Amino acid sequence: MKFTIGSRLSLYISVLLTISITLFLTWNSAKGWLSYVYAEDPPPAGLNEAIQVESENSQLYFLLAQYYENYDFTAPREKIFELYRKALQLNPLNYNYWYYLAEFLSTEGKREKALYALNQATQLAPGVVSLRWAAGILASRLGDEEALKRNLHAVIEYDTERRRKAFIVLWQSLRNGDSILPVIPETALDDYLNFLMDTDRISEAQKVWGKLSDTDEISEYTFLRYVSTLINKNMARSAKNAWAGKYGDWEGIWNGDFEKGLTNSGFDWTFSSVKGAQVKLETNKDRGNSVRIEFDGSTNIDFYHFRQNIPVEEHTEYKLSSLMRSRDLPTKNGPFWEIYCIQTSELNVKSEEILGTTDWHPVSVTFETPRGCELLSIVLRRYTSSRVYGNIAGTVWIDDVSLKKIR
């Protein structure tokens, strides 16, 4: 009998406890549902009513602060701050709350407090790249170089899509390559070098090259572009050192037998498409590679679209020689080699023209480099004809091009 009474008492207690817990959970669920129903009403009334229902919901205070800050310019600034503070009091681990508080404080001119809030945000979520990007921009506005560098370093390392924008922000903010270079991760040096070449910061690009050339991170595209950029800036020695560092030292023509193919950059042969002429690499089982240039007869072309830049020494006599053959070229205004110095106008020499149809034969020209001449350009040329029917048709082949010192 006692056992039955005890059992019933336990049963009643269990039922009451279950009902109490169910009512508690139902009320809390209802509060959350009611708060969001109110929050869907036009702000700020809806948000204020939602807070009355669910006063411990940090997101409601944050959203109300955002509304007053961005849409109600009559709202007291202290009231907005208190809403941010309340949101953080309820949820101090929400990095968004800290970040937007930092934004708010920065507009209030409270720099130190803004930096403190910004630091709290990035410490809570160091791996959120979008936050680090926004934090870097805000740090730039607040004039905190260390926070700027710290945040944009993370962006550059992990977000390749924002990487170039980060380079721009760093240069706009710091304006000093020596301060920026330590911020760039090793994995981003290739992209940074291209950015510097794009923005014509050649001296800074050389510093990056000093770090990048000792790693395996440099791409073939960047290497060839870097050397070509130095050549275009008449920085022959630096360009040659970079080229030799990858391919070994050399003198005279590079790839004169065309067996390395055509990279169309750096100290290799460069060429471009032009109406009326086409440059092709031709392979023959007997003699290997040669270059064929076809003129289709559609244009009275001024041709200068096949060339090579060559490091040389001043006051030195050289001989350029090559093997060439032709088919069906005109009897006047045929192609020839033109040689000139890039740094000075004191040198400009030409070989004989290639005319008509010929078998393989040597074509050469001898010249002496003047003072200050360290970079030659050797160009296959054809001048426009003054004749009424001056369009050029026919084909010329080139092989075994060399440039040797005579004395």
Backbone φ/ψ region at 264: left (φ over 0), alpha (ψ -120 to 50), beta: left
Q: How many CB atoms neighbour CB 212 within 10 A?
A: 20
Structure token pair of residue 19:
């009902």
Q: Coil, strand or helix: which one is 2? A: helix
How confident is the model at residue 344, as a pLDDT?
A: 87
How confident is the model at residue 364, as a pLDDT?
A: 96
Q: Report the distance separating Cα 195 and Cα 162, nearest Å.
A: 13
How confident is the model at residue 7, as a pLDDT?
A: 62
How confident is the model at residue 1, as a pLDDT?
A: 44
How confident is the model at residue 11, as a pLDDT?
A: 60
User: Could you tell me what percent of the chain has a pLDDT over 90?
Assistant: 77
Q: Which residue has the tokens 């701050």?
A: 81
**Amino acid letter, 119:** N
Q: pTM of the prediction?
A: 0.82
The string of pLDDT tens digits covering residues 336-372 is 999 999 988 899 999 999 999 999 999 999 999 999 9
How confident is the model at residue 30, as a pLDDT?
A: 43
If you average pLDDT over residues 247-255, what whole number do you get? 94
Closest CA to 353 of 377, 317, 380: 380
How confident is the model at residue 106, as a pLDDT?
A: 96
How confident is the model at residue 251, as a pLDDT?
A: 93
Q: Coil, strand or helix: which one is 189? A: helix
CA angle 138, 201, 313 (to 5 degrees): 165
Across the chain, mean pLDDT equals: 90
Q: Report the distance separating Cα 190 and Cα 125, nearest Å.
A: 28
* Contact of 330 with 394, CB cutoff 8 Å: yes
Higher pLDDT, 263 or 8: 263
Q: Report the distance separating Cα 407 and Cα 401, nearest Å.
A: 19
The string of pLDDT tens digits covering residues 127-161 is 999 999 999 999 999 999 999 999 999 999 999 99
How confident is the model at residue 12, as a pLDDT?
A: 55
Largest CA distance in the chain: 132
> pLDDT band at residue 386, thresholds of 50, 70 and 90?
confident
User: Which residues have C-beta within 8 Å of that of residue 96, sequence separation ≥ 6?
Assistant: 62, 121
Closest CA to 162 of 205, 132, 121: 132
> pLDDT band at residue 44, thresholds of 50, 70 and 90?
confident
- Residue 216, pLDDT > 60, answer yes
Beta strands in 128-180 (DSSP E): none
Give the rounded distance of the alpha carbon of 185 from its chain centre: 14
- Residue 299, pLDDT > 80, answer yes
Q: Which residue has the tokens 């940074």?
A: 192
Low-confidence winner among 5-19, 43-57, 148-162 (lowest mean pLDDT): 5-19
